Amino acid sequence: MPNFLQLGIRKEINHTLKSLGIVAPTPIQKRTIPSVLEGKDVIAKAQTGTGKTLAFVLPILEKIDVHKSDVQALILTPTRELAQQISKEIKRMVENVEGINTLAVYGGQDVAHQLKKLKGATHIVVATPGRLLDHIRRGSIDLSTVQMLVLDEADEMLHMGFLPEVDDIIYETLSSRQTMLFSATMPNEIRSLAKKYMVEPEFIEVKAKRVTVDEIKQVVIETTDRRKQATLLHLIGEHRPFLAIIFCRTKVRAKKLHDALIANGYESDELHGDLTQSKREKAMKRFRDAKTQFLVATDVAARGLDVEGVTHVYNYDIPQDVDSYVHRIGRTGRAGGDGVAITLVAPKDMEFLRMIEKGIQQKFEIQVIEGVSIPDREDYERVSRKQSKEGKFSEGRRKTGGNTATH
């Protein structure tokens, strides 16, 4: 296994990596870094949590010419949170390197402040597409010198409807640029985007890393819609997570659950698209600083977020596809830490559960907490007999007598 030095990363940065405990490149880093250094266009497909950020950040840093003061690299990413996260990662990496400047550009920030920052030498711009286009239209940012372009979480940019903006932005960059595309999935629209903007791209795929899922203890609790909230409250009382993310299907459900947590005396924050930028930032900061224990989120808002110390992920509402299950539970136990993922299932969720089992090629053991997640035994057996006639819950159930040991 080559180390970062052998991959062509300078010793100052290697030193910083070491001090952060990052010594062995992940598979996607091992394969991507040399190709990017050679100047090739690359398409990299790998699950969340496989280290894609450093796979493009590190070789880009090697290629920046600090003697020039123009923008040389542009990283486009779907959400503000990711833009902040990536720019923070870059700043961390250049701690021992002179003169590389990075600017994050995303909606909700003070524009005048951004403009002032843009006046100095900026080598790398990390941006969300919408706000970046604003700047292009105002003439406050010039991308005509961009030689390296990264489309990060390209599938998510597609899902959020950003492709037209991405098109317009790419048009502003040098046509001789090097283009890198990172994505967890490769829908057709992303393939055609790659075809349109890349020259003989190298396709690098790291197969869905089952290890990430394997490293996470997965628990499934059977409940009903009516008993869900009480079940969750029971579980968190028992697990006492250090930091937990709770996923809900909609903004309204996230808000409601957040309110319930507060009402029960927990430190909680909500994270979804209905909140102002400053509220979202505050919530993220409090969570990162471990001032709040719970973050109640929708998928989009929490996509790609990497927070250290998340011990538990709760799927309050079951995700409706395999990718989003893997993404969600990947928020815990990242890069070596332990993690527990707990999924609550109501009878109507069974088809999604089966689909997830198939996708990750694992069978779940379904647990119940008698009297909490389902009615007391007697009532329950009646219901259960009826359901097994209907073909639901016929396999793999185990009672836990109110004690789900998930530590």
Q: Which parts of this chain interact with ligand ADP (CB under 6 A)?
A: 22, 24-26, 29, 46, 48-54, 304, 306, 334-335
As beta bridge partners, residue 222 has 345
- Residue 85 in tokens: 């996260």
Minimum CB separation of residue 16 from ligand ADP in Å reads 12
Minimum CB separation of residue 205 from Mg ion in Å reads 15
- Identity of the residue, 53 or 332, whose beta carbon is nearer to ligand ADP in the bound complex: 53
- Residue 23 in tokens: 């010594």
* DSSP character at residue 201: P
Q: How many CB atoms neighbour CB 15 within 10 A? A: 14
- Identity of the residue, 51 or 241, whose beta carbon is nearer to ligand ADP in the bound complex: 51
Contacts of 240 (CB under 8 A, 6+ apart): none
Binding Mg ion (rule: CB under 5 A), the pick from 30, 52, 234, 272 is: 52
Minimum CB separation of residue 53 from Mg ion in Å reads 5
The interface region with Mg ion, picked from 50-58, 66-74, 164-172, 342-350 by CB under 5 A, is 50-58
Contacts of 61 (CB under 8 A, 6+ apart): 13, 90, 93, 94, 97, 100
Q: What is the dihedral of CA 360, 361, 362, 363, to 10 degrees?
A: 120
Minimum CB separation of residue 125 from ligand ADP in Å reads 18
Instruction: Indicate which of ligand ADP, Mg ion, none lies near residue 22 (CB less than 5 to 8 Å, by partner kind).
Output: ligand ADP
DSSP one-letter string for 338-352: -EEEEEEE-GGGHHH
- Identity of the residue, 52 or 258, whose beta carbon is nearer to ligand ADP in the bound complex: 52
DSSP one-letter string for 213-266: HHTEEEEEEE--TTTHHHHHHHHHHHH--SEEEEE-SSHHHHHHHHHHHHHTT-
DSSP one-letter string for 32-87: HHHHHHTT--EEEE--TTS-HHHHHHHHHHHH--TTS-S--EEEE-SSHHHHHHHH
- Identity of the residue, 29 or 223, whose beta carbon is nearer to Mg ion in the bound complex: 29
Instruction: Indicate which of Mg ion, ligand ADP, none lies near residue 54 (CB less than 5 to 8 Å, by partner kind).
Output: ligand ADP
What's the length of the chain? 407
Minimum CB separation of residue 86 from Mg ion in Å reads 8
Which residue of this chain has its Cβ atom nearest to Mg ion in the complex? 52
Instruction: Indicate which of ligand ADP, Mg ion, none lies near residue 245 (CB less than 5 to 8 Å, by partner kind).
Output: none
The interface region with Mg ion, picked from 51-59, 103-111, 128-136, 233-241 by CB under 5 A, is 51-59
- Identity of the residue, 53 or 79, whose beta carbon is nearer to ligand ADP in the bound complex: 53
CA–CA separation, 86 and 124 (whole Å): 11
Instruction: Indicate which of ligand ADP, Mg ion, none lies near residue 25 (CB less than 5 to 8 Å, by partner kind).
Output: ligand ADP
Minimum CB separation of residue 52 from ligand ADP in Å reads 3
- Identity of the residue, 272 or 334, whose beta carbon is nearer to ligand ADP in the bound complex: 334
280 binds Mg ion (CB under 5 A): no
Minimum CB separation of residue 48 from ligand ADP in Å reads 4
Distances in Å between the Cα of 58 and the Cα atoms of 25, 30, 81, 91, 124 are 11, 11, 20, 11, 12
Q: Taking CB under 5 A as the criterion, which residues in 295-334 touch Mg ion?
A: 304
Residue 77 phi/psi, 5-degree rounding, is -145, 150
- Identity of the residue, 78 or 375, whose beta carbon is nearer to ligand ADP in the bound complex: 78
- Identity of the residue, 126 or 219, whose beta carbon is nearer to ligand ADP in the bound complex: 126
Minimum CB separation of residue 76 from Mg ion in Å reads 12
Contact residues for Mg ion, defined by CB under 5 A: 52, 304
